[in-house]
Amino acid sequence: MLRWIVWRDLLLAWRRRADILSTIFFFVIVVSLFPLGIGPETQLLKSIAPGVVWVAALLASMLSLGKLFANDLQDGTLEQLLLTPQPLYLVVVGKVLAHWIVAELPLILIAPFLGIQFGLSKNTLLVLFVSLVIGTPVLSLIGSIGAALTLGVRGGGVVISILVLPLFIPSLIFGAGAVDASIMGTDPQPHLFLLGAVCILGMIFAPWATAAALRISLE
């Protein structure tokens, strides 16, 4: 069941490649505008790099949250999934995993190349990559709760932003903090460990909360 849901969502995402490309282009444009606007001030670029990359990744991931369950609701697939004997928890895990692969993984792979614009060292680029690998699943997991709660609501994208942005703050702080620690020459591991703890908590509780929210929204 889990493998089927992931494969199905990846196939549908491939057919709607414009949505994927829009997310990638948004991330690239937002991150690239800061070095162009600030100029060749290396120290200033290094100091803002962690926050810029992480905020851009957070905003880019939110572009696709509104469609996480909406398309399945429109064609009746979501109701059929609720009627299957499989736990709804597994359905949510499959859709969140597919969303991470489609919306977050390209950003993770592109981020180190964009970090070169800010004059980051190889070690800092590695920390940036690791922080995004650990932290971006939290964006998909928490975002799925907001997408489920606002399912079928007019203007759901704005409501999702209001609901989930405060919950993204710990990931933003620890992820950007790890990169900033590497830039300052200190140990980034405490920040990465805290980010990993947030990710584990999200993996444990977020799918259950999303499943409950889906049932409430469809009643």
Q: pLDDT tens, position by position, for the chain (219 residues)?
A: 888 889 988 998 888 888 888 999 999 999 999 988 888 788 889 999 999 999 999 999 888 887 888 888 887 788 888 887 888 888 899 999 999 999 999 999 999 999 999 989 999 999 999 999 999 999 999 999 988 888 877 666 677 878 888 899 999 999 999 999 999 989 999 999 999 999 999 999 999 999 998 888 777
CA distance 55 to 38: 17
Do 127 and 188 meet the contact criterion of CB atoms below 8 Å apart?
yes
Phi-psi region of 84 (alpha: psi -120 to 50; beta: other; left: phi over 0): beta
The Cα-based distances of 208 to 112, 124, 133, 160, 195 in angstroms read 33, 35, 22, 18, 20
Q: What is the pLDDT of residue 39?
A: 80
Do 217 and 148 meet the contact criterion of CB atoms below 8 Å apart?
yes
Give, as one character, the DSSP assignment of residue 153. Answer: -
Domain that holds residue 27: 2-218
Q: What is the pLDDT of residue 194?
A: 96
DSSP string, 129-192: HHHHHHHHHHHHHHHHHHHHHTTT-TTHHHHHHHHHHHHHHHHHHHHHHHHHHHHHTS--HHHH
CA distance 27 to 107: 7
Q: What is the pLDDT of residue 156?
A: 60
List the structure tokens of 3.
């493998």
List the structure tokens of 97.
């995993």
Q: What is the pLDDT of residue 114?
A: 92
The number of domains in the chain is 1
